[in-house]
């Protein structure tokens, strides 16, 4: 998993572009393919771990939305 992310970052993902890159990743499947190929070495169970990492990231993003919603209801 880390190898894949490192490959992506080395090829086209500067930290400054990371949020934009995550959006671009949906539009550029061939770039994701390059990352997959680069990480094929440790891809034995890395694919499943990568999906878990993505789910965890989405779970981490949710509390902020909940807080905003709660603040909106409290304001009204």
* Segment holding 25, helix H or strand E: helix 18-27
- Report pLDDT for 22: 61
pLDDT of 6-36, one tens digit each? 555 555 445 555 565 566 555 555 555 555 5
Please state the domain extents for the chain.
2-75
Which residues lie closer than 8 Å to 60 by C-beta, 6 or more apart?
A: none
- And the tokens for 65? 């939305």
């Amino acid at each position: 998993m880390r190898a894949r992310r490192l490959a992506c970052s080395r090829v086209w993902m500067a930290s400054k572009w990371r949020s934009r890159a995550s959006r671009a990743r949906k539009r550029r499947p061939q770039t994701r393919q390059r990352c997959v190929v680069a990480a094929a070495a440790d891809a034995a169970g890395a694919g499943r771990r990568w999906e878990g990492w993505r789910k965890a990231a989405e779970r981490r993003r949710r509390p902020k939305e909940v807080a905003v919603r709660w603040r909106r209801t409290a304001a009204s």
